[in-house]
Structure 1
């Protein structure tokens, strides 16, 4: 039996082709999801960034542009289709609403993970504080502060109640301690009434040369306050009637200067300063006089940091240590996230340029998007349904379906290749065989190669080269930003003016930061200044109370002028507190914004770094309350102030130029040259600047290429299926079309290109000078940094001594106030008043100088820490990793209020750790 081929059923072929066409049509409208494209971009960007960060000097171990989950700007919703934020009511009501969101937020979105971090840290801090209190027994009585190596006094220092200003000048700022005894409750004779006296000549360091009070009435107040047994008093037998004056002890001669026949004694004698007194009597008088001098020092104030920050006294605000603040800044700082996104967006250009040299495919129904090698090659069949009636002249009803697919490729030489497949299917519904379409396919191939202008690797690869190099620059800039971020978070990024000298601490080099850069240590300085102001106000309150009672005595020689002098200083101290408190609260709010938090978060900072200053200042107060204090103890208090950490540059100690007891100016220039060498080797921005000079050089050849003529060769070869067939793939060798096109042009009109070329040459010369200026400025900046470090170090050491002198001057000034006059017995009242005004002014000035010295020490210490961190940052040797840099700058002794690692050298980025190198 013979088998015959069955004819193909056209209707069946049509039934299969229609669904295929529908699928192709729908495929053009479908696409990948948003998540696919986002993840695809993340993958390409991450690979490109890791390729550029392999160098250990700017390595990035982990990169993600997604916001941290605990940050304030974290988004818990779908990142590809986030809900609509709340819109402005007026804007929505007065404009079209083209989009109707499926989900809309009622309030703006804001993450709260950082608050959870603060809660956890708050509990940890409270637990640690409770454990420390249990171990050290802080609930017991606190012993008086004494300098190390100094024996405690045998008699405990006497503390008196702090004074309260009169009702005429009420203080809105309580001292935080005991309120003191009202003036109405103080007996009239309980305070001294003698006029001040000039100090005697002699060695101020010798204890026997200090003028002690000889006024019994003044000592009487101290006896009543301290509980010392009051001696028997008697009238002076030589006093004229009606002018007996205050009574004095019967076993003590009249005060110096008030005896009609005084006994001239040599106060500078080392053994017997008062021949009219036995050694026991003189020693007892000295102790009682010191107890009176301690009346000026108020009780230790109960300083409340929450109240200073504008919060209720009984509130429990979050307390951040420096390490916790730094960790919060890494997670929550907006500008840190901005810098991450800068690297990401720079990398997107690299992915685009790399894609330009990859094979790029296209497919669709008459697609419009071409490739980097060019547009869709001809023919690009169109898609349409056309219907015309008989009345138009030529009736027609046809459906044209054109599908195209192909690939394009750009070569390094500048050649462009386009290959494709095009198919045109036409259904003529008015024909005799309407179900039988006509099919024709094309295989186009086009290759274009420029040989002069626009050809060659120098021009073709320039965009890719620049994009790759820009990404490297961005990665380096981000590594430098990470170094700057450490410094800005700890010490801020604004210039610090310190008594005429300005220490420049520039912020972020990348720009674009709208948040403040205050720094942790600046806020710590402000809170310590407020506490010093409170102590100064308490001291002036006490002095005002004393003077208010002194003017009641007829023999005191004091008038309302001296009380007003004290009152004026008191008001000035109040104004200083108002200013410092406002500055502290403002900078605290700005520091919160710097960390990415709103300014209304109840937050205070841990003061452990400045606690040594507080201990020394409180110890000075205890020393002044001590009736057996000795001026020789003051240098030991100054020695307990925090020491300054050294900086090591290429094996050289920066402070060794001055801290060896003599100036080694000959070594200074060698140190500066070593710092310059280290800077030129490690600065990442200098590496970028040198690379940009090469970029400018490359542009010379690129712009010179545009001066050439044009000679392009275009090759086109196309296969076509015969029109009689219905097979879209029935290509034959005979049905082809080949063309060779040559384009040539002489370089006659090149004025624009000539100008561009000349501008490129000038740009290269400018870049050379820019690099020279950049290197010179780096050298100058690093020299300034070293000099600033030396200046801050020397200023700090000088102020150590000035601090001791300020305490001595204040102590002696008050003793002169309470000492009896040493002038002639007939001295006029005008002379006594002038002397009292002078001594009062001296006491006020010395009290102000002591406050200034305490504040100056804090400012100098902060200035040195700023200069130290700035020097490391400008050297470029600060580790690129933030936590590694933090631990190098502030090692484990942070818990002991230390701020540095002594002469410890910073390990340069990329250098092996000591344990990795086999070192201890």
Structure 2
């Protein structure tokens, strides 16, 4: 190496230092790397999402601006969160050593997004409104579980970017600056050196398993001692390695990338399934199952043996939004039952005052009232606990004031809460009037009288509501008749019970009876009200106490008539409820699911992943046979870029390593075979589980259709029992023979019979509601488990209405319909026609010896014919619902019809005039 004048080295020194300084800010810019990672990840997902036709607007791990999870601080330099005071001491001083300045980015003031409370959907009272739509939206915006699944998908795509990068051209550059001073005694002479070393390298991996590395090294040494000279040299080298046997297969070289790409595709599918399952979980509480799963052990044995989680089928008590509605309606039913028991107690107390019933039955009714109040308190507490749990699941704090939208179960609210309030107010006035002092002033008594006289508008409203319910029943009658005909025609429970109540003719007769009963009861309520008002005409002619007794008596009769009207409303409403039809067999549902379920597609891919590892593990058993080419080229003379062949070397070699020690590889190979068999069996269990789940759902839907009609009948019977028991209390007293002025008493079981009837009615109402809720849950679960569930852009379930083959025209996988594959390459059905390998014949059905038990080890049976290649059903893509289809599928609201009926009924706000004006007392 020749000495060169020092002025020539200045450019190299400046270039080296400048390159080093320029690289520092790039390498330290956190935001640059974060944004770069986001761009690559979202682009990677976008290349997989079109394969399964999914929207991309949601695939971002950045929370919504209205989300409670939004971090308003800088992501790259976040301030320190609030720490435990004692633990924080060790961040500043640990083992008497001063720590890092952790507070340089400031302290976090807000634990969560401070703006999220103001962005919640609230009503005029400031309460958060929870409906079907708002619950799903709030969950997608604030749920921590949903955010976690989005992040898992992001991390899965991040793994793909790393595996892709392994096959990109990689650049490496280093620069070392060394100043070395040595004393005379240490080195024999005084030395003062400044050394600049630059190294640039390029690396590239190939799909064949080969690898190419090229490098350029430059070294400059500046000597300040002696003659004050420096030395400069450059070296260019490269190495090419191509395995031919072990690790030389594309199966091995591309395994990690192949697995990562397939895993990302599976996770995109799984995220789409999770989106739908998450909506189901929000509404029904049915477990959504697993979402995207990040696999860090690419290509390792046993890494793909776990198949997708099926999730829950929804058996048991409903949860989520529907569960809250069910509990709330149960409370409404208990409140109505409590009001009925209170009315009964008032009537029994009046009968006791008249000497027609003993005190034991009055106390028995009062005890039932206390029991009903206690049960109501328990139900309210459970509802509040369930509401808190639901808010936490949505990602919201449980302390929020919530208003639950009950419009979904309004048809199931058999006893109108406003009706219950009216009867409660009337019962309160009756109780206060009965407790008035007999010597009370007439003015005090008239105040109670005027309170009830002002109930005319409320009574008119309730009668109009019942009239509207009756009109709704007449509108739903054709669909109810068709459903009954379907039940009697396709009776899967033939012989188990009589289907007399399911007869369409019986239903028509019942509707006609209800119309007539309403007309009669409307006049009866009007007559009771006029009886009460007529007392005002004779008030001045009566003593105050006598007027009070007559007033209480008339109020009791009015309360009884209002109870009858409420029961008639319940009977009308129970017959007006219509269940959407589900006309699918379990075989049809299974066939649809085999084509449309995304987790089923992933399960097939998981079996192939495990099968592929057998080839990877088998390759490790082979010998090492590598072609290695490497060379170097240096510089000569004064020119640091003057590379000459005289200072170079080129070497080619063939390297062989005999497979003499392969115990670990042998074990891995055998393990891969066992893992594949396990995965194959797990896949069979997965398919069987899907079949079992679908059969269970179809069976529950079928059972619920019949059970729903039975519950209708049970409610009608319970209502009839209550009416009959109430009639006993309203019967006029009969004189007792042989006793002057004596009155016949009620029976010894009158109170017990009435309480039993009210309890049966409450149970029937709750059972009726439970069957309806379970039917809706199972419909949603069936739509999810068939893979046909469609969501609108806000994540809301697009209710398909009737679920049958005709309504699934736009859904791929309809039985008997072939949908071409939209992906490139041959369809999966084409693999069913793969010919047998040369020299082997595909065994006929009669020659399937492999189905028979083996007498000896299978490996020794060389004549054993191989089984035919299993065919795989076609993987078809789930189509997206268009806006027109979405509009067709949206269920029509019944609110407008009811409101229109109320408006028409309010035009004539006058009670019907009784035919004959009755006397004030009965």
**What TM-score, normalized to structure 1?**
0.65
1:722-770 Cα distance to aligned partner (Å, 9 max, x none): 2xx3422111121102223433222111111111111111111111111
Range with greater deviation from structure 2 (672-681 or 469-478): 672-681
Given that 1:612 and 1:641 are in contact with CA atoms closer than 8 Å, whether structure 2 keeps it comes out as: no
Aligned to 1:472: 265
Select the residue among 185, 188, 195 that pairs with 1:391. Answer: 185
2:222 equivalent among 404, 424, 427 = 427
**Which residue of 2 is the match for residue 550 of structure 1?**
351
Question: What SS does the aligned partner of 2:291 have?
Answer: coil
The equivalent position to 1:22 in structure 2, one of 17, 22, 28, is: 17
1:446-476 CA distance string (max 9 Å, x none): 1111111111101100000000000011001
Larger Rg: 1
- In structure 2, the CA distance between the partners of 1:76 and 1:635, relative to structure 1 (3 Å rule), is closer
Take 1:760 and 1:53, find their aligned partners in 2: how far apart are those partners?
Answer: 31
Q: Is the 8 A contact 1:558 1:836 kept in 2?
A: no
Q: How does 1:801-812 map to 2 (within 5 A)?
A: 801-812=713-724
Of residues 563, 577, 595 in structure 2, which corresponds to 1:681?
Answer: 595
Per the alignment, residue 326 of structure 1 pairs with 136
TM-aligned CA deviation for residue 865 of structure 1: 1.1
- Aligned equivalents of 1:98 and 1:90: distance in 2? 17
1:852 counterpart = 2:785: no
Per-residue deviation, residues 342-400 of structure 1 (Å, max 9, x unmatched): 1100001100010000110111126xxxxxxxxxxxxxxxx532222122252332222
Aligned to 2:571: none
Flag structure 2 segments of 5+ consecutive residues without an equivalent: 93-98, 294-308, 310-316, 427-458, 495-580, 812-877, 890-922
1:522 matches 2:337: no
Separation in 2, partners of 1:745, 1:455: 14
Question: CA 1:883/1:14 → structure 2, altered by over 3 Å: closer, same or farther?
Answer: closer
Counterpart of 2:103 in structure 1 is 101
Q: For the residues of structure 2 that align with 1:320 and 1:694, how far apart are their CA atoms?
A: 45
Q: Name the counterpart of 2:289.
A: 508
Label 1:358 to 1:316 Cα distance change in 2 as closer, same or farther (>3 A).
closer
Report the Cα distance in structure 2 between the residues aligned to 1:524 and 1:462, rounded to whole angstroms. Answer: 51
CA shift for structure 1 position 818 = 5.1
Match of 1:910 among 859, 879, 901: 879
Distance 1:881 1:80, change over 3 A: farther
Which deviations, in whole Å up to 9, do the C-alpha atoms of 1:594-619 show, x marking residues without a partner? 22211112121211112223365469
Partner of 1:771: 683
Report the counterpart of residue 671 of structure 2 in structure 1.
759
Q: Distance in 2 between matches of 1:645 and 1:720?
A: 95
Quote the Cα distance in structure 1 between the aligned partners of 2:475 and 2:26. Answer: 66
SS at match of 2:388: helix
Number of the residue aligned with 2:392 = 593
1:732 aligns with 2:525: no
Identify the match of residue 449 of structure 1 among 235, 242, 245: 242
User: Residues 80, 906 of structure 1: CA spacing in aligned structure 2 closer, same or farther, 3 A cutoff?
Assistant: farther
User: Is the partner of 1:858 in helix, strand or coil?
Assistant: helix
Instruction: Establish whether residue 540 from structure 1 lines up as the match of residue 341 from structure 2.
Output: yes
Task: Tell whether the 8 Å contact from 1:879 to 1:907 is kept in structure 2 after alignment.
Answer: no
| Residue aligning to 1:782 | 694
Unaligned residue ranges in structure 1 (runs of 5+): 1-7, 127-314, 367-382, 494-505, 647-653, 891-898
More helix by share: 2
Q: Is the 8 A contact 1:657 1:663 kept in 2?
A: no
1:361-380 aligned within 5 A: 361-365=171-175
In 2 relative to 1, CA 752–733 (structure 1 residues): closer, same or farther, beyond 3 Å?
A: same
* Structure 1 residue aligned with 2:232: 439
- The structural deviation recorded for 1:659 is 3.6
The 1:675/1:525 distance shift into structure 2, 3 A limit, reads same
Local SS of the residue matching 2:327: helix
1:247-301 deviation digits (Å, cap 9, x = unpaired) = xxxxxxxxxxxxxxxxxxxxxxxxxxxxxxxxxxxxxxxxxxxxxxxxxxxxxxx
- Would the alpha carbon gap of residues 659 and 618 (structure 1) be closer, same or farther in structure 2, given more than 3 Å must change? farther
Q: Which of 384, 390, 401 is the equivalent residue of 2:196? A: 401
Q: Which residue of 2 aligns with 1:705?
A: 619
Q: Does 1:672 align with 2:595?
A: no
State the distance in 1 between where 2:805 and 2:412 align: 18
Question: Would the alpha carbon gap of residues 106 and 670 (structure 1) be closer, same or farther in structure 2, given more than 3 Å must change?
Answer: closer
Q: Deviations over 1:184-226 (max 9, x none)?
A: xxxxxxxxxxxxxxxxxxxxxxxxxxxxxxxxxxxxxxxxxxx
For the 8 Å contact 2:16–2:198, the answer to whether it is kept is no
Displacement of 1:844? 0.8
What corresponds to 1:88 in structure 2? 84
Judged with a 3 Å threshold, the aligned counterparts in structure 2 of structure 1 residues 482 and 643 are, in CA distance, closer, same or farther, namely farther
Q: Deviations over 1:650-678 (max 9, x none)?
A: xxxx9799446652689999722111111
Alignment RMSD: 4.1
1:47 aligns with 2:43: yes
Residues in 2 aligned to 1:72 and 1:754: alpha-carbon distance in whole angstroms? 53
Q: Distance in 1 between matches of 2:720 and 2:647?
A: 111
Change (3 A) 1:916 1:848: closer
Out of 60, 64, 68, the residue aligned to residue 64 of structure 1 is 60
Query: 1:864 aligns to what?
Result: 775
Residue 104 of structure 2 aligns to a residue in which SS?
coil
> Which whole-Å deviations, capped at 9, do the CAs of 1:315-348 have from their partners, x for residues lacking one?
6423233222222222222222211111100001
Change (3 A) 1:778 1:486: same
Please tell me whether the aligned partners of residues 153 and 292 of structure 2 are also in contact (alpha carbons under 8 angstroms): no
| CA distance in 1 between partners of 2:478 and 2:153 (Å) | 35
Q: 1:878 aligns with which of 789, 805, 808?
A: 789
115, 118, 132: which is aligned to 2:117?
Answer: 115
How much does 1:636 deviate? Answer: 8.3
How many residues matched? Answer: 663
Report deviation, 1:107: 3.6
C-alpha change, 1:483 and 1:655, in structure 2 (3 Å) is farther
Structure-1 residue corresponding to 2:152: 342
How far the C-alpha of 1:511 sits from its partner, in A, is: 8.8
| Cα contact 2:6–2:230 (8 A) shared by 1 | no
Deviations 1:2-25 (A, max 9, x none): xxxxxx995644554443343244
Report the CA distance between 1:88 and its aligned residue. 1.9
- 2:748 and 2:803 map into 1 onto residues whose CA distance is 47
The residue aligned with 1:498 is none
Please identify, of 665-674 and 14-23, the stretch whose mean Cα deviation from structure 2 is larger.
665-674
Which residue in the other structure is 2:726 paired with? 814
CA positional deviation for 1:542: 2.9
Greater relative contact order, per chain length (Cα 8 Å cut-off, separation 6+) = 1
Aligned with residue 401 of structure 2, among 599, 602, 614: 602
CA drift at 1:104: 2.9
CA contact under 8 A between 1:427 and 1:438: conserved in structure 2?
A: yes
Partner in structure 1 of residue 706 of structure 2: 794
Structure 2 CA distance for aligned equivalents of residues 799 and 41 of structure 1: 58
2:168 maps to: 358
1:641 Cα deviation after fit:
11
Quote the Cα distance in structure 1 between the aligned partners of 2:485 and 2:154.
45
State the secondary structure of the residue aligned to 2:798: helix
Q: Distance in 2 between matches of 1:695 and 1:786?
A: 33
2:412 is the alignment partner of 1:613: yes
Alpha-carbon distance in structure 2 between the residues aligned to 1:589 and 1:360:
53
Q: Give the equivalent residue in structure 2 for 1:280.
A: none
Task: Pick closer, same or farther for the CA change 1:342–1:517 going to 2, 3 Å.
Answer: farther
TM-score, normalised relative to structure 2:
0.65
